[in-house]
Amino acid sequence: MQEHYILGMDIGGTHFRIGAVDRRDQVHVFRKVSVKKVFHSKDPLEDLKEYLADYMEQEGLRESVDAISIGFPAVLNRERTVVLQAPNVSYMENLPVVDSLKRCFDIPVYIDRDVCMAVHYDMRQLGLPEKGILIGCYFGTGIGNVICMDGRPLLGKDGAAGELGHIPVPGRSEPCGCGNTGCMENIAGGKYLAKLCAEVYLNTPISDIFTKHGQDSQLQDFVDRIAMTVALEINILNPDYVLVGGGVTNMKDFPLPLLTEKIHSHVRKPYPDKSLQLFFTEDTDVKCVVGAGIRARNALKDTDIAGGLQF
Ligand SMILES: [Zn+2]
């Protein structure tokens, strides 16, 4: 029996990752290249189609790809067909990504936020059931957030649900990429650590910031703000499962015990605190690629194309 694959992709600000995800969620012929290698002309959609066609040809996948699935660090429309706002990949904004790729390759095409792909991967790794409420809070350069109800991410009226990084913080006025000022993302994400290195810890590479300065009040307060962000959503939703991850919490010597303690300190007592199920997730290069594969397979099952394609 011929193996069938989903082409999973993760298009970030710096790297383009791609792989063929099989029915057991294993990734094959994984590549991680500079986005500049893929997007080199003035027409990003043509560049993407050309790269995908070459990839499938070179890896012998022409006859065995059942769907394409791409994650973006972006706000997407509710229908998940167009990238609306993506500061780090702005060249993909307002293009008919899904329609154009569908027409070109004649297979189903799915796009979603990269954090949604991450949640699918983490749920599988942790063996978590779909039933119930799950939240994912990912602290990278900014803050990524997904609220899942019975395995389905909440979309919101405009597709922009789960923008937890943009909760306003009293007394703060830092300008934010979203156009507002004083958003939590600027003081509880990697941007804040970069700022500390540029203005306070001039001789410390950002990767050593917790090793060298983890006991400083500025970093303890930073961890507390991460905890407040997560606790805020826990107190609203009383979720069954809470995933916390991203580049920041995976940094060398990041104080996970302190974060755990702080989250519990901010969550309401006795519930939801007493039943809180908190998971810290690891970063891997293939996370969003495999997650994109899982996302597409779920969608194929939903549309009942599954039987014919053996998914
Ligand atoms: Zn904002």
- 82 with 99, same domain? yes
> In angstroms, what is the span from residue 168 Cα to ligand 1's centroid?
8
The alpha carbon of 63 and the centre of ligand 1 are apart by a number of angstroms equal to 44
How much of the chain is helix, strand and coil, in % rounded to 5? 40, 20, 35
CA of 16 to the centre of ligand 1 (A): 25
- Residue 80 belongs to a domain: yes
CA of 185 to the centre of ligand 1 (A): 7
51 inside domain: yes
Ligand 1 centre to CA of 30 (Å) is 34
Residues 75 and 155 in one domain: no
The verdict on 232 and 295 lying in the same domain is no
**Is residue 143 classed as helix, strand or coil in its secondary structure?**
strand
Q: Are residues 132 and 264 in the same domain?
A: yes
104 plus 141 within the same structural domain:
no
Domain hosting 154: range is 127-280
Distance 66 CA to ligand 1 centre (A): 37
pLDDT digits (tens, 9 = 90+) for 168-196: 999 999 999 889 999 999 999 999 999 99
In the chain, the number of structural domains is 2
Cis peptide before 170 (omega within 30 of 0): no
Show the tokens assigned to 151: 């395995």
Interatomic CA distance for residues 176 and 167, integer angstroms: 11
Query: pLDDT exceeding 90 applies to what percent of the chain?
Result: 93
In this structure, the answer to whether residues 140 and 249 fall within a common structural domain is yes
Report CA(224)–ligand 1 centroid distance (Å).
Answer: 19
Asked whether residue 32 is assigned to any structural domain, the reply reads: yes
**Spatial contact of 52 and 107, defined as CB atoms under 8 Å apart:** no
Q: Are 121 and 19 in contact (CB under 8 A)?
A: no
Distance 141 CA to ligand 1 centre (A): 13
What is the CATH classification number for the domain harbouring 54? 3.30.420.40
What is the full per-residue pLDDT of the chain (311 aa) written as tens digits? 678 999 999 999 999 999 999 999 999 999 999 999 999 999 999 999 999 999 999 999 989 999 999 999 999 999 999 999 998 899 999 999 999 999 999 999 999 999 999 999 999 999 999 999 999 999 998 999 999 999 999 999 999 999 999 999 999 999 998 899 999 999 999 999 999 999 999 999 999 999 999 999 999 999 999 999 999 999 999 999 999 999 999 999 999 999 999 999 999 999 999 999 999 999 999 999 999 999 999 999 887 544 444 43
Q: Does the residue 121 lie in any domain?
A: no
